[in-house]
Amino acid sequence: MSDNKQTQGVRTVWWEEDASGAAVCLLDQSLLPQQVVYLRLKHEQEVADAIKSLKVRGAPAIGVTAAFGLALSLCRLMREKDGALSLATAQQHVHAVGALLGQTRPTAVNLFWAIERMLLCADVAIENHCSLQDLAQLLRAEAHSIADEDFAACMAMGVYGAELIADGDMLLTHCNAGALATAGWGTALAPMYVAHKAGKHIHVFVDETRPVFQGARLTAWELQQEGIPLTLITDNMVGHFMQRGGIKAVFVGADRVAANGDVANKIGTYGVAVLAHAHQIPFYVAAPTSTIDLNIPSGEHIPIEQRNPEEVTSVRGMMIAPVGVEAANPAFDVTPHAYVTAIITERGIVRPPYREGLRRGCLDVRNHSNLGSRLNSNGDRSSANRRSTREESPG
């Protein structure tokens, strides 16, 4: 079972199973920092709603949650049917649930990567004539592997990224790409955590990240939990503090990285990148290979999620704009690769030109699930609990 410790006091998503059945457990991020509330979801529709409503967010965490949601759906159906379920019906069910979960957030590629991986696991198992019980176990094991691999990837990105941080550095980050966004220590915040634990003195500028305030609500809360000094600023203060000097680097996460190195991330990232470029400040993107989409040639092909305009016109239910005013609410923007100094992955630091470097970095980790080694010729589960060898080494 995936029970890896994240940062101090932060646990984002995990699996539980007891006499009452299986559940996907989440920290409800929509209530932070005022309330720390954990949800126990027992139906795939609840999982889909949690992803859509930002109760869980961050590309890696969304992928892990979707994987657990697919495993949960089969466990729930088997329990309801008391085992009276054919493999064909089970296969149709998990594919339908995959479609349901895939409709929640269009930009974060980890969601689709995790769903495809889980469906491949199911399809291969069924083709090998596994039992229904083995299918459920394989899906649980695959979801746990996805979570465990994300934890290991976060650790590796932290180690690699910490090499870019010097003692005394003042850093800036946008949105939240920490433990709350992953099953581990985070992507963009992981290098800061590793540097801090290594004794480096750092100070982090956190922009609030309108319209949902992930920086103010989540990143500031996370860094406080870890005892890392920070200064919260509004989004329109970034240029001012860069102009004054002192900020040595920017670290952000990503929801999708195109084959050429263009980066889709939380709305406002592009503006931060342009300002960093103008002030000759390194702009680093931390993203696991599961976030790299080699099928997307450039950022202009990345779908951008459009969210409810009420997130812009109101804050926590209080209207801040005139009634009836028109508001736009794209959830993400695309930063061209020319503004990206380097991309930190679990395989190492990739620098321009990105196309070949990203392709090489993805080659040896694309076949994550090793399904052939999990099923013998008779379709029996041979090593369903095997964990990725990427956990053994950050390299």
The catalytic site residues sit at 255
Contact 15, 47 (CB under 8 A): no
Q: Which two structure tokens, joined as six digits, stand for 187?
A: 């992507």
**By C-alpha distance, which of 134, 224, 212, 125 is closest to 174?**
212
User: 3-state class of 22 per DSSP?
Assistant: strand
Q: Which two structure tokens, joined as six digits, stand for 30?
A: 């929509």
Quote the CA–CA distance of 15 and 31 in Å, as a whole number. Answer: 21
**Angle 251-388-17 from CA coordinates, rounded to 5°:** 95
How many Cα atoms within 13 Å fall on the side-chain side of residue 10? Answer: 26
**By C-alpha distance, which of 330, 285, 258 is closest to 109?**
258
**Angle 257-263-269 from CA coordinates, rounded to 5°:** 145
CA quadruple 262, 65, 196, 221: dihedral positive or negative? positive
Q: Would you mind telling me the total number of residues written for the chain in this entry? A: 395
| Pair type for strands 263-266 and 170-173 | unpaired
Q: Burial letters for 129-139: b for 16+ Cβ neighbours within 10 Å, e otherwise?
A: ebebebbbbbb
Strands (E), 309-380: 314-315, 318-319, 332-335, 342-345, 348-350
Contact 268, 332 (CB under 8 A): no
